[in-house]
Amino acid sequence: MKQLTLKLVIPLTVISFATFTKWWYVLPVDAPDTMFSGFPLPFVCEGWHTSLSLQIFVTEFTIDLLTYFLFWLALVFCIDRFLTKIIPHKILTITLWTLTGLVIIGSGLIASNPDNIFYVKRPFDMETMETGYKFIWQYTERPDYYKYHPEDRHK
């Protein structure tokens, strides 16, 4: 199982973590309405202090990454143990690790923005208004603010 973890589970974890997520439209306490991303917990949102910055919550990020890892570990284990032995070909392993490396480099470049703010845990409460799932290539339009604040429509 150790070989399968290195050859399949870790690359599939990183690739799926980067490509499939959940979006959250939330109203944080004392802050503007915001779109968060992360599954099962929201771990990243836009920064409020400057454009193109992010707020990243490390505890939520770690829980999300662990969730993806455990999902792939359980799936690969069950297939290998109960259905058929998995023997990954070298080309598959090289392809998966190449994609994983590209994802890690890209994420590292985004995370290295000096304007980003990292928190150990999200320091504010929020009210979730809408959620949905998406792949990285799908555009998620921000829900209509006035749907949740009709009193502001005529100001």
Task: Give the predicted TM-score (pTM) of the model.
Answer: 0.85
What pLDDT does residue 67 have? 96
What pLDDT does residue 137 have? 83
**Average pLDDT along the chain, 155 residues, taken 10 residues at a time:** 77 94 88 88 89 92 96 91 86 93 94 93 88 85 66 61
What pLDDT does residue 121 have? 93
How is the chain split into domains, by residue range? 2-134
Provide Rg for the chain, Cα atoms.
Answer: 19
Give the DSSP H or E segment for 35. strand 34-37
Q: Angle at Cα 19 formed by Cα 72 and Cα 115, nearest 5°?
A: 120
What pLDDT does residue 150 have? 61
What pLDDT does residue 153 have? 59
